[in-house]
Amino acid sequence: MLLFIEEVFYVIISKVFKIIVSTIKPLAFVILNIFCFCNILFAQIINPKLDSLWNKYNTSKHDTTRIKIYIELGDVYKSKNIDSALLYYQKALQLCENSLFAKSSKIDEKVKIFSLKASSTRYIGVVYASKGDNDKSLEFYLKSLNISEQIITLNPIEGKKNMAASYNNIGLVHQNKSDYSQALEFYFKAIKLREEINDKEGLASSYNNMGNIHSQKGDYDNALEYYFKSLKIAEEINNNNGMASSYNNIGIIHDNKGDYDKALEFYTKSFKIRKESGDKNGMANTYNNIGSIFMYKKNYNKALEHYTKALEIYEEVGNKSGMARSYNNIGIIYENKKYFNKALNVYFKSLKIRKDLSAYREIALSYNNIGNLYLKQGNNIEAKNQQLLSLNIAKKIGAKVQMYYAYNSLAKCDSALGNFKEAFEYYKLYSQLHDSVFSEQSNEKVASLNVFYESEKKQLQIEKLEKQKELDNQTMQKQNAESHKQQIIIWFVICTLILVLIFLSVMYKLFIQKKKANKELAHQKKQIEIQNHELLRANEEINTQKDEIEAQRDIVTNQKEHIEEIHKKVTDSINYATRLQSSILPELKILEEYYSECFILFKPKDKVSGDFYWWAVVEKQLVITVADCTGHGVPGAFMSMLGSSLLREIVVKEYMTNPAIILKRLRKEIINSLK
């Protein structure tokens, strides 16, 4: 009830603020500060956790305790009012810098302050990342990394823990900019450090981020492996936020694979955890994902309802990336409902935000959606331009899924423009990527990973039950000792009886088998006698067939000799034709008079062919021809001799040296000769 009142208060104040800002712009900044103060004050009154934190703060005397409280206050506000969260993180950082413990000679006190300073700095970077300011967030992450490196000299484990967190966040910045290679580099650094210090919570986060990279690149199999790794750790350490994030991401993979029921199952698990923890950003993400399920099932009204809920939360917490995603999804709904102008408007809203955030993968997706809409409106040229922009960005960042969508859309654009050859090339590229991203083997792997996860989960439950059972057995062992001895005796008697029964049944079975075998042997003997008689008759038939085969062999031998004789005559004729064709080819010495170094490389396909060369000197000009006539073999040779003869008539006798006139005359003369 208290949370509901707080949300209503926040909505009313937001509406009033928007009206005041639109009418009195000079006072907007002052009013914003008053609004933030009122919101913080009201939240403290109605939120028991905040009240408890402030009570601790007022009674605490140590700087480290007060810094931790400031950080916890920032965590509380992070999902509700991002500006308030930033304020408390900054207070924590300021207190760290002013603390006397930072100058203390005691290593433990120094490590605590430096660790809190690194965390505060990093959390400020997280706030700027949520606001879409990647450059500012990177600045604070690097500062946090520098502080963490100083901690290592004092406490290696604490230093590595903070360094890993900074590496992880730096990787997120590069991921948001679609620089996946840089992101992976920092994620691997984080994983290495977290494995060294056995930081399970950190490993779960890193594996989740690695999965996100592979998912965005369209490598769903590797993405799913990392998500299940993350989920397994989160379940082991009972990390609800980690579990919610993994469930959501696994749902996205099934969503992309078209398994919407499975996706909805994981989205629902994620939403339940996020709602219980009050994670508004996470709830908005899940609203968006569930909306996509309804959209694929063509329940557009239900999808729009979920997308709108997500957008309202993103606007409330100031998550620009989420706002861009919601605008994009709402545009898809408008497009499917044929509200093209509305769809285009929200698509461009989404694109503008994504450009401000330098979110290249999402920019490529926006260009693709805008291009598809232009294509539906018949604006084919602009549609293709948008798709080319999408493809170029997708290629640059190596995003397979975006490349897949762009190739498909470009094929449709070129088809609509009548460029069928280009359309076919784009369609081939689209088909190749389709096999890569949505192959049957890939789907089987996804299914097997699901089965593996379920079996792992069951195994953990079994192990817990076995441990409990072991404890129960230890407590009951003494009481059951005598009973166990009696059971052994009973089982020994039962086993002996069973063995006797088995022995008797085996002996009886052997007797039956022997009797049956004797009958079968008698039957087989009779069959063999019949087969011997048939073999004798078959032998007589074989001898008769042998005589016929020998007669046919003699006929074949005679025919072979006749064919060889014909082949020799044909070969001799071809060899003679080769000599004739070679005789019309010009000598090399004419070329040598003009070129000091020259040679001829002449390799026709057959002995006689349609390939020839020819040259002659006419009025001190060298005319060279290299020709390939239609046809091979004898027809080609005939054409080459005809061409050589006609060239001699045209060039030598008529003193013709102009290539265009020679070719024109040659064509005419060949046509006349073949009439």
SS (H, E, C) 235-284: HHCCCHHHHHHHHHHHHHHHHHHCCHHHHHHHHHHHHHHHHHHCCHHHHH
Spans of the chain below 70 pLDDT: 1-49, 51, 57, 59-61, 79-80, 100-105, 435-475, 478-479, 631
Distance CA 36, CA 16 (A): 13
C-alpha distances in angstroms, 621 versus 191, 308, 594, 658, 660? 78, 83, 10, 11, 16
Length of the chain: 675
Q: Is the C-alpha dihedral spanning 49, 55, 61, 66 positive or negative?
A: positive
Q: Is 297 within the bounds of a domain?
A: no
Q: Which of 418, 435, 452 is the last residue of a domain?
A: 435
* 387 touches 420 (CB < 8 A): no
Q: Which of 207, 120, 200, 193 is nearest to 159 (CA)?
A: 193
Question: Which pair of tokens denotes residue 364?
Answer: 């490529």
Pick the closest to residue 319 from 285, 365, 349, 345 (CA basis). 285
Q: Which of 69, 90, 76, 66 is nearest to 40 (CA)?
A: 76
- Residue-level pLDDT at 577: 75
Cβ–Cβ < 8 Å for 9, 42: yes
In degrees, rounded to 5, the angle at the alpha carbon of residue 465 between the alpha carbons of residues 464 and 470 is 100
Does 265 map to a domain?
no
| Amino acid letter, 402 | Q
**What is the SS3 assignment for 205?**
helix
* Integer Cα distance of 7 and 174 in angstroms: 34
Locate the DSSP E strands across 456-541: none
Q: What does residue 152 show for φ and ψ, rounded to 5 degrees? A: -55, -40
- Residue-by-residue DSSP string for 135-168: HHHHHHHHHHHHHHHHHHTT-HHHHHHHHHHHHH
One-letter amino acid of 430: Y
Centre a 10 Å sphere on the Cβ of residue 40 and count the other Cβ atoms it contains.
18
- Domain limits at 144? 47-194
Instruction: Decide if 326 contacts 290 (C-beta within 8 A).
Output: no
- 37 — phi, psi (to 5°)? -60, -45
Question: Could you tell me what percentage of the chain is helix, strand and coil, using 3-state DSSP and rounding each to the nearest 5?
Answer: 85, 0, 15
Backbone dihedral angles phi then psi of residue 621, each to the nearest 5 degrees:
-115, 135
Residues 79 and 281 sit within 8 Å (Cβ to Cβ): yes
- Domain assignment present for 148: yes
Cα 279 to Cα 93, 253, 264, 343, distances in angstroms: 24, 22, 19, 29
Which DSSP string corresponds to 322-365?
Answer: HHHHHHHHHHHHHHHTT-HHHHHHHHHHHHHHHHHHT-HHHHHH
Query: 371, 406, 435: which is the final residue of a domain?
Result: 435
Overall domain count for the chain:
3
Half-sphere exposure of 63 (CA within 13 A, CB side): 21
Alpha carbon distance, N-terminus to C-terminus of the chain: 102
Is residue 629 included in any domain, yes or no?
Answer: yes
Amino acid type, 539:
N
Nearest CA to 668 among 646, 635, 636? 646
Does residue 34 fall inside a structural domain? no
- Other beta carbons less than 10 A from residue 206's beta carbon: 30
Those residues with Cβ within 8 angstroms of residue 663's Cβ, 6 or more apart along the chain or in another chain: none
DSSP secondary structure letter of residue 203: H
- Cβ pair 623, 591 in contact under 8 A: no
Token pair belonging to 64: 């480290």
CA-to-CA distance for 53 and 70, rounded, in angstroms? 9
DSSP annotation of 648 reads I
Residue 160 lies inside a defined structural domain of this protein: yes
- For CA atoms 525, 528, 530, 533, the dihedral sign is negative
The CA dihedral of 575, 578, 579, 583, to the nearest 10 degrees, is 180
**Nearest partner of 582 among 531, 626, 644, 628, judged by Cα:** 644
End of a domain among 160, 194, 228?
194
Distances (CA, A) of 646 to 223, 290, 568: 72, 80, 33
- CA triple 531-534-539, angle to 5 deg: 125
Q: Residue 439: what are its φ and ψ, rounded to 5°? A: -70, 155
Burial of 467 (0-12, 13-18, 19+ CB in 10 A): exposed
Q: Specify if 534 maps to a domain.
A: no
CATH number of the domain to which 86 belongs: 1.25.40.10
In angstroms, what CA-CA distances link 582 with 109, 585, 586, 598, 645? Answer: 100, 5, 9, 19, 13
Name residue 592's amino acid: E
CA distances from 250 to 247, 267, 268, 401 (A): 5, 8, 12, 17
- Smallest Cα–Cα separation from 247: which of 230, 261, 258, 238? 230
CA geometry: angle 638, 642, 646, nearest 5 deg:
170
Q: Note the Cα 358 to chain centre separation in Å.
A: 21
Q: With 0-12 CB in 10 A as exposed, 13-18 as middle and 19+ as buried, what is 25?
A: exposed
Helix (H, G, I), strand (E, B) or coil at 399: coil
Nearest to 443 by CA among 224, 213, 212: 224
CA dihedral for 229, 230, 231, 232, sign (positive or negative): positive
**Residue 369 falls within a domain, yes or no?**
no
Phi, psi of 611 (to 5 degrees): -95, 135
d(CA 569, CA 590): 36
